[in-house]
């Protein structure tokens, strides 16, 4: 075994002992970061003594600091994003929801689809849609000013960023000027139950921003609010996708009832075949927004 692989193996053991869920992958990602290459290019790196930086990075990861905070980068679909403290780290599960949104937009008979991403965080969802759906216009909303800095940084770095507009606002009240006009609304809202705090991995519990995580004892407080937001923003036949946590799939479809003008409410699964996000449409014959549940204006 060459020296590099031997050091990665030692780092893998150390991370495994610390309880890191993917020790080999993370040890390789850290090695790639130190050498300035992608993980798949490590075999091209010549044998050389790792300097102290590698083991400093391994120690930080063993202390359960997120890998993305150490390397400063996260991968999402076809994007490499800048990531650090103060912003939610995008997850692979969310890529499946974004794929559904992209397919849905491509199937729409709309020349310039209007999209809203509520709780944009790093901007991963908004930028992916702008990149993969030509002529789409995406409004990215984030309430946390620190997270918004990261979103704007990633938007500015993207060649498709000119079609993404980011603003600081409460997702429950934002974008009233778009009421009844939005083709697709997508959101990865806070959905972690405060009752589950003790079971949340330390990378999440201590490093992801609290406003992006917690949503009441059952985790559904914000999603309940978003039903009203969807009714306000979406045009008739407009589509919506809402990510949720494990075990919440059974509770969310009833929050979007037919009598409030919703149709085609379905749970969709993630990479592990678990319910991960709910999709729905506004009924064709219901006007958007300013009415109470089940009452037309």
Q: Which residues are catalytic?
A: 88, 188-189
3-state DSSP call for residue 60?
Answer: helix
Residues 277, 252 contacting (CB under 8 angstroms): no
**Measured between alpha carbons, how far is 203 from 88 in angstroms, rounded to an integer?**
11
User: Of the candidates 151, 142, 147, which has an alpha carbon nearest to the alpha carbon of residue 207?
Assistant: 147
Q: Which helix (H) or strand (E) holds 140?
A: strand 137-142
H-assigned helices in the chain:
3-17, 23-35, 52-62, 67-71, 92-107, 124-132, 145-157, 202-205, 221-233
- Token pair recorded at residue 50: 């790792």
Quote the distance between the C-alpha of residue 273 and its chain's center: 18
Residues 98, 77 contacting (CB under 8 angstroms): yes
Instruction: For residue 140, report the phi and psi dihedrals to the nearest 5 degrees.
Output: -110, 120
Q: Scanning the structure block, which residue is given the tokens 């479809």? A: 253
3-state DSSP call for residue 76?
Answer: strand
User: Of the candidates 113, 116, 118, which has an alpha carbon nearest to the alpha carbon of residue 136?
Assistant: 113
- CA-to-CA separations, 263 to 118, 237, 256, 260, 267, in angstroms, rounded: 21, 9, 8, 9, 13
- Angle value at C-alpha 189, between 173 and 181, nearest 5 degrees: 45
């Amino acid at each position: 075994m060459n020296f590099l692989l031997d050091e990665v193996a030692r780092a893998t053991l150390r991370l495994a002992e610390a309880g890191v869920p993917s020790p080999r992958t993370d040890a390789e990602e850290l090695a790639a970061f130190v050498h300035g290459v992608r993980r798949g290019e490590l075999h091209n790196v010549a044998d050389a003594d790792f300097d102290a930086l590698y083991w400093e990075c391994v120690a930080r990861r063993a202390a359960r600091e997120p890998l993305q905070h150490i390397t400063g980068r996260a991968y999402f679909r076809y994007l490499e994003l800048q990531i650090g403290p103060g912003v939610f780290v995008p997850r692979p599960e969310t890529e499946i929801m974004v794929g559904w949104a992209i397919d849905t937009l491509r199937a729409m008979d709309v020349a310039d689809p209007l999209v809203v991403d509520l709780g944009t965080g790093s901007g991963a969802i908004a930028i992916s849609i702008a990149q993969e759906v030509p002529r789409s216009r995406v409004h990215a909303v984030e309430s946390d000013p620190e997270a918004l800095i990261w979103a704007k940084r990633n938007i500015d770095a993207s060649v498709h960023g000119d079609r993404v507009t980011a603003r600081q606002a409460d997702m429950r009240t934002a974008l009233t000027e778009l009421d009844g006009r939005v083709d697709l609304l997508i959101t990865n809202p806070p959905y972690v139950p405060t009752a589950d705090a003790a079971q949340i991995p330390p990378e999440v519990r201590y490093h992801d921003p609290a406003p992006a995580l917690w949503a009441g004892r059952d985790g559904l407080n914000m999603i309940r609010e978003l039903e009203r937001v969807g009714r306000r923003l979406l045009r008739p036949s407009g589509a919506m996708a809402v990510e949720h946590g494990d075990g919440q799939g059974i509770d969310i479809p009833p929050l979007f009832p037919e009598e409030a003008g919703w149709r085609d409410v379905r749970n969709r699964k993630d990479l592990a075949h678990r319910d991960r996000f709910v999709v729905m449409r506004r009924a064709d014959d219901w006007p958007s927004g300013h009415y109470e549940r089940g009452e037309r204006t």
